[in-house]
Chains A and B, each alone.
Chain A
Amino acid sequence: MSAALLGQAAPPASAAAAGLDATRVLTFVFVTITFMAYLYIGWRSRVRETRGFYVAGRGVPAIANGAATAADWMSAASFISMAGLISFMGYDGSIYLMGWTGGYVLLALLLAPYLRKFGKYTVPDFVGERYQSETARVVAAICAIFVSLTYVAGQMRGVGIVFGRFLEVPVWQGVVVGMVIVACFAVLGGMKGITWTQVVQYAVLIFAFLIPAVALCAGVAMMLSLPGCGRRTDPQPAARTFPPTGAVKVWQRENRILVSWLMPASPVVQRLGGLDEFELRVERLPLGLDTRIGSGQHSLTPAQAGPVSSRLLWRPVRRALS
């Protein structure tokens, strides 16, 4: 949740780094306004009892709850790293998309309804009660803490980077600033404050996603109208051509990471991706890592090429069955 507030800070922050003074002032104004809004919400929905703290007194409408959940999904990882990750890893990056969106289905079908019906606030409480075992409860608690810490570490790093760039301070100071702000409205408002804050973040994030998307589409359309970006004549080798392969090349050539993410399979990317003979040859190589190593322009060591899960689980399965 916390890092969802990165959303509106990220693009202006990088613009500010480019040294545009007006942009910097505007960024500061907008970030301050949104944070004031978050803190105000936290203050307004401050709670005094446990029930209010954990489940917002059950007074949150379904739509608002859905918006807050969606804002959860669009956290620091999706906003800052997902585009680059998928662009960089190519097809294997889809494991993140399917993985963490699919997790919501498991949650909705297998856990959430029972947690609700059981009348427990937390998963460890539910597990402990359901299996009538303190041991199970402790195990669940340890798992929850481990998951939270892993998650928060990444999110806080994202907060630190954004605040660091925004305020032009080292990353660790950015982390501290972000932590203080988040802690303020989280502790004040509990679940209710967080939920309503996230409803606002939901709107802010969607705008923040749309603005670069529209700008990039306009930019790419202009770029394509320039001479030298002709349509490729060679019919593409269908079975072996993956848009991400093209996308990686777009990234290499044009350094426009978002293009590949926003329109991974659009005609635009395919046109950009298949420009010359060399790249057509590269496309006929085996998929995935080898393609990128084979291209020679941007060699990767296996360690850089993706997480272990992907290398160990995903590719062998895909290869074995292909």
Chain B
Amino acid sequence: MACGERVSSRNGLFDFSEFAVAPSNSTERRPAAADHKAYWRANLRLIAVLLAIWAVVSFGFGILLVERLNTLSIGRVPLGFWFAQQGSIYVFVILIFVYAWRMDRLDKKFKVDE
């Protein structure tokens, strides 16, 4: 397995070059250095926000604050328990969709979309 993949990736079976770094001859697709920085900063900001939510709903609501949240309830389900069993998972799925959507927009804005 290991040998196969090694060889093939070296053989250039992939055409990733067009969106990893633009080919050196086509200057219009290569983002300027400043652009690149802005793109990366926006990228990091997005990840930081999403991961903060990720941590809060699972570790925060599901573990740390569970006792306190359990005094509230959704229907007849204690809220903290609900977050641990279902709520955090719903949020995880939403986070992935939001990430994909925002990154697509970001890629388009900086013209690095596929």
**B42 is an interface residue with CB less than 8 A from chain A:** no
**B5 is an interface residue with CB less than 8 A from chain A:** yes
> Secondary structure at chain A's binding surface: helix, strand, loop or mixed?
helix
Please measure, in the bound complex, the distance between the C-alpha atom of A251 and the C-alpha atom of B96, giving whole angstroms: 35
**B33 is an interface residue with CB less than 8 A from chain A:** no
Q: How far is the CB of A224 from chain B (nearest CB, A)?
A: 15
Q: Is the Cβ of A238 less than 8 Å from the Cβ of B2?
A: no
Contact of B9 among A110, A125, A241, A266 (CB under 8 A): A125
Tell me which residues across on chain B come within 8 A of A242, comparing CB atoms: 70, 78, 81
Interface centre among B7, B19, B88 (most CB of A within 10 A): B88
Q: How far is the CB of A163 from chain B (nearest CB, A)?
A: 25
Tell me which residues across on chain B come within 8 A of A298, comparing CB atoms: none
For residues 70 through 109 of chain B, which have their beta carbon under 8 Å from a beta carbon of chain A? 70-71, 76-78, 81-82, 84-85, 88-89, 92, 95-96, 99-100, 103
Q: Which residue of A lies closest to B97 (CB)?
A: A108
**B38 is an interface residue with CB less than 8 A from chain A:** no
Q: Is the Cβ of B58 less than 8 Å from the Cβ of A102?
A: yes
Q: A97-121: contact bitstring with B at CB < 8 Å (1 yes, 0 no)?
A: 1100110111011100100011111
Q: How far is the CB of A279 from chain B (nearest CB, A)?
A: 18
Q: Is the Cβ of B8 less than 8 Å from the Cβ of A51?
A: yes
Please measure, in the bound complex, the distance between the C-alpha atom of A122 and the C-alpha atom of B16, giving whole angstroms: 15
Q: Which residue of A lies closest to B7 (CB)?
A: A50
Q: Which of A175-183, A197-205, A313-321 contacts B (4 or more CB under 8 A)?
A: A313-321
Please measure, in the bound complex, the distance between the C-alpha atom of A319 and the C-alpha atom of B103, giving whole angstroms: 39
Q: Is the Cβ of B5 less than 8 Å from the Cβ of A54?
A: yes
**B63 is an interface residue with CB less than 8 A from chain A:** yes
Please measure, in the bound complex, the distance between the C-alpha atom of A53 and the C-alpha atom of B16, giving whole angstroms: 17
Q: B3-40: contact bitstring with A at CB < 8 Å (1 yes, 0 no)?
A: 01111110001101101100000000000000000000
In the complex, 28 of the A-B residue pairs with CB atoms within 8 angstroms, ordered by the A residue number, are: A50-B5, A50-B7, A51-B13, A53-B4, A54-B8, A91-B81, A97-B85, A98-B84, A98-B88, A101-B88, A101-B92, A105-B54, A105-B92, A109-B47, A109-B95, A118-B20, A119-B9, A121-B9, A125-B5, A238-B71, A239-B67, A242-B81, A243-B81, A265-B78, A265-B81, A265-B82, A267-B76, A318-B67
Residues of chain A at the chain B interface (Cβ within 8 Å): 49-51, 53-54, 91, 94, 97-98, 101-102, 104-106, 108-110, 113, 117-122, 125, 141, 238-239, 241-244, 264-267, 270, 314, 317-318, 321-322
